[in-house]
């Protein structure tokens, strides 16, 4: 008789979220429900240019609630940008934040919130469960399909002195509300579509093979893999087609829920290191590292990688693990190339002499804890070298 093994104890955190075309049109209702006095809209110049910040402004104006805009945010949001935003928030007497944009504005908004309620420097929150008090009410409105910051308990902030991206992980960072409208992604160009989509794919991969995965995160992760595999390239090629935009935004949501609760792995640890040292685009770094990370991890989670391969429509019937591994790695590379991500780390400015420093930062990243295979600094160096 087979011995029954109960599911391991797991928790799952998620914000209230509204998903679907036209969701952005109800932001005013949520503002009214919170009954706040003054709102800070956190966004960036690209989102302002695309027009989505103006849309949110219009709906907030309709409530009669005063607001200000903070947009001094760059890719890979910096510690000083968070602290500057927190100073502005306090001076202006704000009591709510609405983040509009991709991962950078949303992570910066989370940082601003916890700095204001805890009166601490943003870098003091580094690590897991180091945020004593939650931030003020936070609504996130994502305009990219990939980061998952709108539903996650993660914030990634660039330490501008050490040149490393720190991970802040705490349930206090989960937004109060996520308003997820696929229409907002129709202004993304093919490059951004590809990079954010590959970021979501890596979220799903790493959550599924994480040593902290659960039946709930598994369902979300595998569905996200299926959706991204089938819709990423069409979304890049047909910018305004909401069939593909809807599915990619759904994939981003599902992958975000998965990784927020199962955490990530070696790909994100290494991508954070690259982004911190060289200020590179996070999604592209993830895309360029995934195949070599799968090669490294495969036999420590072989059955799970086989299930991912099946979700990517790879016919694994009759295949042993070796053949599945090769087929999966090949499919990852094909998808990346078809989406237009064809560069190498070398072409992004990474050199061999940078690898030891990159590997050390990656080794210390909290995402390494849930990778299915323990990795030494020399292992990480080897993966970077292969990706050059």
Locate the DSSP E strands across 259-365: none
Question: Which of 136, 160, 185 is the last residue before a domain boundary?
Answer: 185
Domain that holds residue 226: 188-387
- Residue 286 sits in a domain whose CATH number is 1.20.1090.10
Task: Scan for tokens 């940008």, then name that residue.
Answer: 81
* Residue 233 CB contacts under 8 Å (≥ 6 apart), including other chains: 335, 338, 339
Mark whether 254 and 377 lie in a shared domain. Answer: yes
What pLDDT, on the 0 to 100 scale, is given for residue 219?
98
pLDDT by residue for the chain (388 residues), tens only, comes to 677 777 888 999 999 999 999 999 999 999 999 999 999 999 999 999 999 999 999 999 999 999 999 999 999 999 999 999 999 999 999 999 999 999 999 999 999 999 999 999 999 999 999 999 999 999 999 999 999 999 999 999 999 999 999 999 999 999 999 999 999 999 999 999 999 999 999 999 999 999 999 999 999 999 999 999 999 999 999 989 999 999 999 999 999 999 999 999 999 999 999 999 999 999 999 999 999 999 999 999 999 999 999 999 999 999 999 999 999 999 999 999 999 999 999 999 999 999 999 999 999 999 999 999 999 999 999 999 999 9
Question: Which of 121, 153, 185 is the last residue before a domain boundary?
Answer: 185
User: Do residues 221 and 207 make contact, with C-beta atoms less than 8 angstroms apart?
Assistant: yes
Structure tokens belonging to residue 217: 């995160």
Mark whether 200 and 116 lie in a shared domain. Answer: no
Task: Scan for tokens 């928030």, then name that residue.
Answer: 89
Nearest of 186, 126, 129 to residue 158 by alpha carbon: 126
Look up the pTM and report it: 0.96
Mark whether 149 and 65 lie in a shared domain. Answer: yes
Cα–Cα distance for residue pair 321/302, rounded to 1 Å: 7
Cα–Cα distance for residue pair 177/193, rounded to 1 Å: 24
Mark whether 35 and 94 lie in a shared domain. Answer: yes
Mark whether 375 and 280 lie in a shared domain. Answer: yes
Nearest of 29, 39, 91, 90 to residue 68 by alpha carbon: 39
């Amino acid at each position: 008789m087979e011995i029954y093994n109960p599911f391991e104890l797991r928790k799952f955190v998620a914000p209230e979220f509204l998903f679907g075309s036209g969701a952005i049109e109800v932001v005013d209702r949520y503002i009214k429900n919170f009954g706040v006095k003054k709102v800070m809209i956190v966004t960036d110049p690209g989102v302002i240019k695309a027009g989505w910040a103006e849309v949110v402004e219009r709906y907030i104006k309709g409530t009669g609630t005063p607001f200000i805009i903070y947009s001094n945010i760059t890719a890979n949001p910096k510690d000083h940008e968070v602290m500057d935003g927190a100073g502005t928030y306090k001076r202006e007497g704000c009591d709510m934040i609405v983040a509009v944009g991709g991962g950078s504005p949303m992570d910066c908004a989370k940082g601003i919130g916890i700095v204001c309620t805890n009166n601490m420097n943003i870098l003091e929150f580094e690590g897991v469960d180091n945020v004593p008090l939650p931030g003020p009410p936070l609504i996130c409105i994502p305009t990219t399909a990939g980061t998952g910051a709108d539903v996650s308990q993660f914030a990634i902030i660039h330490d501008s002195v050490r040149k490393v991206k720190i991970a802040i992980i705490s349930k206090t960072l989960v937004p109060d509300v996520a308003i997820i409208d696929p229409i907002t992604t129709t202004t993304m160009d093919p490059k951004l579509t590809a990079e954010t989509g590959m970021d979501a794919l890596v979220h799903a991969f790493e959550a599924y093979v994480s040593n902290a995965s659960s039946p709930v995160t598994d369902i979300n992760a595998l569905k996200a893999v299926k959706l991204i595999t089938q819709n990423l390239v069409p979304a890049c090629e047909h910018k305004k087609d909401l069939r593909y935009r809807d599915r990619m935004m759904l994939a981003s949501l599902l992958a975000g829920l998965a990784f927020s609760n199962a955490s990530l792995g070696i790909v994100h640890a290494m991508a954070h290191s690259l982004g911190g040292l060289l200020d590179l685009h996070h999604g592209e770094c993830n895309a360029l590292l995934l195949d070599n990370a799968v090669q490294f991890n495969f036999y420590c989670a072989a059955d799970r990688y086989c299930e991912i391969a099946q979700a990517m429509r790879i016919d694994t019937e009759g295949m042993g693990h070796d053949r599945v591994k090769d087929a999966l790695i090949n499919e990852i590379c094909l998808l990346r190339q078809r989406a237009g991500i064809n560069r190498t780390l070398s072409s992004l400015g990474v050199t061999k002499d940078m690898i030891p420093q990159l590997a050390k930062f990656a080794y210390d990243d909290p995402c390494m804890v849930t990778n299915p295979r323990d990795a030494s600094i020399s292992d990480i160096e080897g993966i970077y070298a292969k990706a050059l």
